[in-house]
């Protein structure tokens, strides 16, 4: 890693800390630079715009979650029930990073600049569907179920971020895990 890459990575780690302390409203290079007590020009050497900084941070968080999922699913040795629960724990452990994900998700509805963010969503669909196909689920059903699974995880995470009611959201997710296991078993039948 070059010194510039290390500096950029450190800035992204600090941006993540900033968001945990201050939230996403009004986030951008200028307020972030003020928080760092650095000139905004220093940050503009690494990020072209506020949107570029947001996308870089979302991409960093997505890569970290994706790597965690790949580690969890490694070799397909986990039963799906365990994998689903461990994936949910992974999501909860990264909950503070998810606020930015949901804001970027909303921005992608109206701003073509966030197109690369939208394409990253398909990465998750592929990872989950691929795990299911390896276990014997037909591709079409695996993709549909991956879409449903992501909708449940994201909806539960958004609910948790807004309410911070971990017990209630976890209870709902336990119901989802049981239902997902039953759906999964039906899809694996010949």
pLDDT digits (tens, 9 = 90+) for 58-69: 888 888 888 887
Average pLDDT score over residue span 151-160: 94
Return the pLDDT at 116. 65
Average pLDDT score over residue span 172-188: 89
Mean pLDDT of the chain: 85
Q: Is the pLDDT of residue 76 over 60?
A: no
Q: Which domains are seen in the chain, by residue range?
A: 1-47 (1.10.10), 61-188 (1.10.357.10)
Q: Which of 29, 26, 31 minimizes the C-alpha distance to 48?
A: 29
In this structure, of 79-88, 147-156, 170-179, the range with the lowest mean pLDDT score is 79-88
Measure the CA–CA gap between 162 and 61, rounded to whole angstroms: 19
Angle formed by the axes of helices 50-73 and 29-36, to 10°?
Answer: 80
Q: Which of 103, 84, 88, 106 minimizes the C-alpha distance to 182?
A: 84
Return the pLDDT at 143. 93
Output 17 or 74, whichever has higher pLDDT: 17
Q: Is the pLDDT of residue 170 over 90?
A: yes
Q: How confident is the model at residue 50 (pLDDT cuts 50, 70, 90)?
A: confident
pLDDT digits (tens, 9 = 90+) for 120-142: 667 778 888 888 888 888 899 99
User: 3-state SS string over the chain?
Assistant: CCHHHHHHHHHHHHHHHHHHHHCCCCCCHHHHHHHHCCCHHHHHCCCCCHHHHHHHHHHHHHHHHHHHHHHHHHHHCCCHHHHHHHHHHHHHHCHHHHHHHHHHHHHCCCCHHHHHHHHHHHHHHHHHHHHHHHCCCCHHHHHHHHHHHHHHHHHHHHHHHHHCCHHHHHHHHHHHHHHHHHHHHHHHCC
In whole angstroms, how large is the CA radius of gyration of the chain? 18
Return the pLDDT at 81. 60
In this structure, of 39-53, 83-97, 146-160, the range with the lowest mean pLDDT score is 83-97
């Amino acid at each position: 890693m070059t010194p510039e890459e290390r500096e950029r990575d450190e800035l992204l780690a600090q941006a993540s800390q900033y968001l945990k302390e201050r939230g996403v409203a009004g986030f951008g290079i200028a307020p972030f630079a003020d928080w760092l007590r650095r000139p905004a020009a220093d940050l503009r050497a690494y990020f072209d715009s506020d949107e570029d900084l947001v996308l870089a941070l979302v991409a960093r968080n997505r890569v970290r979650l994706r790597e965690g999922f790949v580690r969890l699913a490694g070799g397909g040795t986990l039963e799906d029930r365990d994998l689903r629960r461990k994936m949910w724990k992974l999501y909860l452990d990264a909950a503070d990073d998810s606020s930015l994900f949901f804001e970027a998700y909303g921005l992608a509805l109206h701003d073509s600049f966030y197109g690369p963010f939208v394409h990253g969503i398909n990465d998750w669909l592929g990872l989950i569907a691929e795990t299911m196909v390896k276990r014997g689920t037909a591709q079409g059903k695996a993709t549909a179920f991956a879409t449903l699974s992501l909708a449940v995880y994201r909806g539960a995470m958004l609910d948790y971020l807004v309410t911070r009611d971990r017990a209630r959201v976890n209870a709902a997710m336990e119901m989802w895990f049981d239902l997902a296991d039953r759906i999964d078993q039906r899809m694996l039948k010949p």
